[in-house]
Amino acid sequence: MSNADLVQYILEQASQAGEITAKKMFGDYCLYCDRKVVGLICDDYLFLKPLPQLQPLLHECDQRMQPPYDGAKPHYVISDVDDRDYVSLLIKTAAEYSK
């Protein structure tokens, strides 16, 4: 389960990306940018969809992938949520390339 304060912090950090919202699902959160699913916040980690367009933008430490929950496909795990510009860029890019 994710801490609601951390979820709110991530939403604020990503505010430059567009309309950022999160919906609670089974104790964790689905993350939306401009009404498109871009990732998840699970167990207090930000997971972004495994889009190839994100890979060149990622810091080296964020290039690892793991599933956000059992049975899910691997997502990028974003550890640097304190960098507002970085988080906003990643989320905006994910929204641009998400269906």
Q: Provide the whole-model pTM.
A: 0.95
In this predicted structure, what is the pLDDT of residue 99? 80
Low-confidence ranges of the chain (pLDDT < 50): none
In this predicted structure, what is the pLDDT of residue 39? 97
Residue 12 in tokens: 């604020």
Residue 62 in tokens: 């964020």
In this predicted structure, what is the pLDDT of residue 98? 92
In this predicted structure, what is the pLDDT of residue 27? 82
Give every CB contact of residue 12 below 8 A, 6+ residues apart in sequence: none
